[in-house]
Amino acid sequence: MNNFKNKILSFLDNLFIYKETNKYDFFLPEKESCEVNTQKKDEMDISKQTDYEDIFPNININLEYMQIKYNALINSDVVIREFNLIAKNNEYKAFLIYLDGMVDSNMINDFILKPLMLRNSANTYIKDNQNKSITIVKNNYGIKKVKKFNLEEYIFNSLVPQNSIKKYTKFKDAISDINSGNCILFVDTISTVFSLEVKGFKARSIGEPSNEIIVRGSQEAFVEVIRTNTSILRRLVNNENLIIENIDVGKISKTKVAVCYLNNIANEDLVYEVKYRINNLDIDTLISSGQLEQLIQDDSSIFPQLISTERPDKAVNYLFEGRVVVIVNGSPYILIAPGVLVDYLSSPEDLNLKHQYSNILKLIRLIAYFFALLLPGLYIAITTYHQELIPTELLLAIASSRETVPFPLIFEIIIMELSFELIREAGLRVPSPIGPTIGIVGALILGEAAVSAGIVSPILIIIVAITGISSFAIPDFSLSFTLRLLRFVFLILGAVGGFLGIALGIFVYLCFISNLKSFGVPYTSPYIPNSNFTNSTTSFFTKPIWKREKRPSFLNPKKDNEEGKISMLWKKSKKEKE
């Protein structure tokens, strides 16, 4: 009894007595301060101050430059292997640079490191007449010249048994090859590097996406291995500014989590916030990205706040916008932060289709969104309280179809909704060969039998079917789940208060989503608060590809423009170009 009394008192305390809340509240800073930070960082950043073009003969300078360029201290998949190269029995300092996951390690070991490092007949062989002097007669004088040993030619011709090898003298060529999966060999005393083709990433055999299927676009999906996933991102981004930082999460499991972002685009505060949250988790184990999502999201509400995807192309699109990708080892679903409401209504296919097609699809999805949320609630509100709104013929049809049904409408509709959820859940759990059977049993036999038995009315079957189909049209699984749950709330509100109840639900719903934030970004962005969405890549309606000039301003990216003012330069006449 005392316990019950205490519980009531504590409930009343919580309800009426003000307590200082320690709610963690993160905001992305204003644009101005962000710009100042970026400017300061640029001043400090050596790589931006000195963007070298030509390769130096001094290996230490080359090494330092490449370390800065690739952020080697924090980038987990950038490998720099320093060693001593033997040529003509002399030792030269050298290093190899490559991206782990994109190269074949065996090829590097057997065909690059072994021939260069280990003493063998090729690298220790000294020809007798190697340094033989030759005499050139000029103006009746004999000049004695010693033929120098050419290390560059020697390595190229004699030491590296590779079928595809290129020589570069510019850093940008070398960096481009590293990004595409080659290994670059730097050797002391020469200002040329060797690009060795040792590509070893897994390509098409990775597997198709099973839940995010599209018609036009990439057909590969992430896998459970973190390094394979990072290599997929590397291959698609193909830029040295992609940073992949590894963090171990879980005191027992020490699960590898990779935080990926584009160094020159993503907002620094956003990146720090993601890393801060992941670094400050006091847990024993982490098994999947779903668990991590719940641990790092802003609010524990039912709305999804991080985008979850199995599609690399979708992840890369978001990376280029300035968002942060989080990969968890052992999970084929990666997380993208932050996520705003319009993201959950977008499909990766939207960007591949012409904007007219994708906008029609988006409009259909928007209608599906409202049907999935409100249709059963509106049906019950109209048929219970506002019958005069329905045209007379339709009203008579509804009344006659409900004539034989012995239950109140709310009971009838809850039975049908629950049955539908049961069929859906059973369809997911049963082995795939008998999956269609569940559909047939559920849709045809149960529906038909329920109508014949007079348990439900045929019009209600149509309402529940439209609602169910609409919830399948939502591209994001988590948002679809949210709508499924909220549908029941609207159902009850519609039954209790008709339109008044529905309006109450919509009002609270709007306030709730307006209050939500994902990593400091308002959930209703880019519309409320009003960001620049007219030329932005993130807005509900897709712009023509030539008009997607700006990155979403709500992310405060370091680079605002994604494309030039005129992206299709070929359309300009030659005169205009000049």
List of residues contacting other proteins (CB under 8 A): 15-18, 20, 25, 27-30, 382, 385-386, 388-391, 497-504, 506-508, 510-512, 514-515, 520, 522, 524, 528-530
Shortest gap between Cβ of 561 and other proteins (angstroms)? 22
Of 125 and 507, CB closest to other proteins? 507
Which CB atom, from 18 or from 141, has the smaller least distance to other proteins?
18
Min separation Cβ 512 and other proteins, Å: 7
Q: Which is nearer to other proteins, 28 or 206 (CB)?
A: 28
Number of other residues whose CB lies within 10 A of the CB of residue 159: 21
The set of residues, in sequence order, having a beta carbon less than 8 Å from that of 454 and lying 6+ positions away, is 404, 405, 406
- β-bridge mates for residue 136, sequence order: 143
- Give the nearest distance from C-beta 499 to other proteins in angstroms: 5
CB nearer other proteins, residue 315 or residue 479: 479
Nearest residue (CB) to other proteins, 4 versus 18: 18
Give me the least distance between CB of 445 and other proteins, in Å please: 33
Q: How far is CA 115 from CA 158, 185, 404, in A?
A: 10, 13, 87
CB of 391 to other proteins, least distance (A): 6
What number of other Cβ atoms are within 10 A of residue 253's Cβ? 15
DSSP per-residue letters across 205-248: GG---SSS--SSS------S-HHHHHHHHHHHH--TTEEEEEEE
DSSP-derived secondary structure for 163-215: SSEEEE-BHHHHHHHHHTT-EEEEETT-S-EEEE--B----GGG---SSS--S
> For residue 328, which of 344, 304, 309 has the smallest C-alpha distance?
309
Report the number of secondary-structure helices (H) and strands (E) in the chain: 22, 14
Report how far residue 373's alpha carbon sits from residue 51's, in angstroms, rounded to the nearest whole number: 54
Please say which residue, 37 or 567, places its beta carbon nearer to other proteins. 37
Rounded CA-CA distance 42/59 in Å is 25
- Shortest gap between Cβ of 68 and other proteins (angstroms)? 33
- The least CB distance from residue 486 to other proteins, in Å, is 14
Q: Is 322 helix (H, G, I), strand (E, B) or coil?
A: coil
Residue indicated by tokens 């995807």: 309
Q: 93-102 burial string, b = 16+ CB within 10 Å, else e?
A: bbbbbbbbbb
**Is 510 or 566 the residue whose CB approaches other proteins more closely?**
510
Q: Which of 460, 463, 523, 471 is nearest to 367 (CA)?
A: 471
For other proteins, the closer CB: 468 or 522: 522
Measured torsion, CA atoms of residues 459, 460, 465, 466, in degrees rounded to the nearest 10: 70
CB of 346 to other proteins, least distance (A): 19
Is there a contact between 86 and 117 (Cβ–Cβ < 8 Å)? yes
For other proteins, which is the closer residue by CB, 331 or 524? 524
Instruction: Give the C-alpha distances (Å, rounded to integers) separating 355 from 214, 321, 359, 360, 362.
Output: 16, 18, 6, 9, 10
Nearer to other proteins, 364 or 510 (CB): 510
CB of 387 to other proteins, least distance (A): 10
Nearest to other proteins of 171, 519 (CB atom): 519
Question: What Å distances lie between residue 500 and 375, 382, 386, CA to CA?
Answer: 15, 11, 11
Shortest Cβ 422–other proteins spacing (Å):
31
Helices (H), 95-150: 105-108, 114-117, 121-124
Instruction: Find the shortest distance in angstroms from Cβ 337 to other proteins.
Output: 17
